[in-house]
Chains A and B, each alone.
Chain A
Amino acid sequence: MSMPAIRVEGLWKQYQVGGRERPPESFREAVTRAVAAPFRRLAGRAGASQRDRWFWALQDVTFTVELGEVVGIIGRNGAGKTTLLKVLSRITPPTRGRAEVRGRLGSLLEVGTGFHPELTGRENIYLNGAILGMKRAEIRCKFDEIVAFAEVERFLDTPVKRYSSGMAVRLAFSIAAHLDPEILLVDEVLAVGDARFQRKCLGKMDEVSREGRTVLFVSHNLAAISKLCGRGLVLGEGRLLVSGNTSEALRAYSKEVSGSHDLPSRNFFGPLTGKLQFRGVSINGLQGDDDVRLSPSEAVRIAVWGASTADLPSYRTTVSIYKDGQLVISRHDAAEPDPLPRGDFESEVVIPPYFLSPGEYWVEFGGYTTETGAWTWSRDQVRFHVIDEWSKEYDTLSNMGVVNLPDAGRRVHRG
């Protein structure tokens, strides 16, 4: 009978926040504190304050991973994903509970751990490989493959400090990608390099997961998770919320991140701000939490709603989308300003699928009236990510430039 590759039973991990007690500010304070300390302990107050400075990064996490399974771990920042990988890779011990790992385990919490800038590319391959747990013979045997994958053949004997950051990252990932353990733990390391290299990395991950390797994979790239993983674990505040098939997990995750969220009104300014207040914004139904991640194949529907305290004869709402501080596009809820009666309203603009290339976008919005020229506007209200498309079939949209268009041009043969 086959035993699970990873068995985790009631795992808890506690961290201390903010370090020790605030250091005394003066010698006098140091002395009074030292004198008071035994009494405080007697009063039991020291114990109470001790508890406040601890937090649980993992709380009673239990699951098993079968041999050959590829499991995605998702959750918001601070949900405990990295802590879980760190405990499983024995970097940090659990506070309570137990885990069993069957077989040789390799963990990839970062690419390029231990790279030394003074050493050459060649030397760093051997060094980094050894740090990741590869045998020298193993590295020697894969050396050419690593170099070819990283595309650094010409710079092998150049110190890594002279590499561009892109080259260094490519080399680092390439070494990691040729790691060959039975169980692989991967933490968000695919978010490196340019879009083209990222696709190459995802392809390599795909290959690895098809080889029947057991993989635990933490990522914010939901498309990659849904493509690579057969099962998903959703973590939230250190607890395991969902363990199920990938689509179940992804659904639970988007529900998790769409918790209601009030629009901070302080961010609005302009002469119209008193008469017209925006109350909320949502992107594809998700209310402006900081983890809105959309696939390029989704249309981006940005809805904003609010209320006007007066009848405005000619008004329209404008939504602007910025990338890297650059205005990508502005859209309006009406072709020409038109009357807005007093009361609640909702405006929506739609960006078609595949129009925005992968990356982070900031949304600003507001409205204006044409008679008085009065306006209200907000800065950097919400952001969303367009994630990299996994699928190869859309390779024609190869993410060059600020915007994409879904269709290709045409070609005629005149030969």
Chain B
Amino acid sequence: MRDTDVGGRETFFARSHVTVIEPTNGWRMLDVRELWAYRELLWALSLRDVKVRYKQTVLGAAWAVIQPVTAMVIFTIVFGKLAGIPSEGYPYPVFVFAGLLPWTFFANAIGTIGGSVVGSAHLITKVYFPRLIIPLTSIGSGLVDLAVSSGVLLVIMLYYRVPWTPNLAAAPLLLLGLIGTALGVGTLLSALTVAYRDFRYVIPFLVQMWLYATPVVYPASLIPERWRWVLYLNPMAGWIEGFRSAFLGKPFDLAGLVISAVVGGLLFLGGVAYFGKVERRFADII
């Protein structure tokens, strides 16, 4: 018989570990230790999504570039040229791309996360793992796209002679906030979708409405200074303005970022907590 290593990282799975199975009792906080123990599953599932994404497509990974660039061109024509929306002195394509980058990530993330749990019904009813792995997996392939389109943006900036600045160093921190917000909203929607499939139809509508409430195609400076804090109650406003500052080198609106971070943090905690409350019943009601 094999001897399981007790102590160190393997403790979680070791023989000394007693799993107690009891009826669900309401709200539970995120079990980070367990999540960490299942990190290899997270990796395997994320890898699957990335690999499967572009199988049997002719253009393959080029789609990660084509999608945002096309959106940039259309938005530039419609909002930059026709509507004449100001872009704080930056070339409109660069301005809008810097906003589209985090927005596309967010919109795709809550879309895929929202349907992810229902889409993984076959796993949920047959195997145990922390259910939070599923929404986390959906983040993975979005990150790959985000990395690719960030590269594209850096190239476009060279073309329009917008210099790269030290502000870029803030991008990873902003990304963390962005992921947190996407996870909070996404997990909430995915848990609700399990019980009420109506939410499938709510998500696309929600994304569209949210886009208008977020300074993606317009700058936050369009809102009178006195009311700008209202805009930042939408955490996406903070992250998108933040990304824009990071890429374009304009100063950060720290007050705005703080408001967004607080609201985003609450969304994250709320979404994950609700998910944790209902996740054990998924297999029964899915």
Contact = CB atoms under 8 A, between A and B. Distances in A.
B51 A94 contact: no
Contact of A87 (B21, B40, B55, B281): B21
Contact of A102 (B15, B22, B24): B15
A113 B122 contact: yes
Identify the 5 closest CB pairs spanning chains A and B, nearest first.
A130-B44, A99-B21, A103-B15, A90-B128, A101-B19
A98 B15 CA distance: 19
Interface stretch (A115-123, A250-258, A282-290): A115-123
A15 B285 CA distance: 9
A114 B17 contact: no
Interface stretch (A104-112, A320-328, A370-378, A391-399): A104-112
Interface of B: 1-2, 4, 13-15, 17-24, 40-41, 43-45, 47-48, 51-52, 55-56, 122-129, 280-281, 283-284
Main secondary structure of the interface of B (DSSP, over half): mixed
A123 B125 CA distance: 22
A91 B52 contact: no
Contacts of B43: 130, 136
Interface of A: 15-16, 86-105, 107, 109-110, 113-114, 116, 118-119, 123, 126-127, 129-133, 135-136, 159, 180, 182, 211-213
A92 B8 CA distance: 29
Contacts of A131: 41, 44-45, 123, 127, 129
A118 B51 CA distance: 9
B51 A135 contact: no
Contacts of B18: 100-102
Nearest to A68: B1
Contact of B48 (A95, A96, A119, A180): A119
A87 B22 CA distance: 9
Contacts of B283: 86, 91-92
19 contacts: A16-B284, A88-B21, A89-B128, A90-B19, A92-B281, A93-B21, A93-B24, A95-B23, A98-B21, A104-B14, A105-B19, A110-B126, A118-B56, A119-B51, A130-B41, A133-B13, A133-B41, A135-B40, A182-B15
A180 B4 CA distance: 11
A69 to B, nearest CB: 14
Given A93-B280, A114-B123, A182-B15, A130 B23 contact: no
Contacts of A91: 124-128, 283
A105 B19 CA distance: 9
Contact of B284 (A92, A98, A105, A118): A92
B128 A116 contact: no
B134 to A, nearest CB: 11
Contact of A104 (B13, B41, B124, B126): B13
B55 A118 contact: yes
B15 A113 contact: no
A116 to B, nearest CB: 6
Contact of B22 (A92, A93, A105, A118): A93
A15 B284 contact: yes
Given A93-B280, A100-B20, A100-B21, A132 B14 contact: no
A132 B280 CA distance: 18
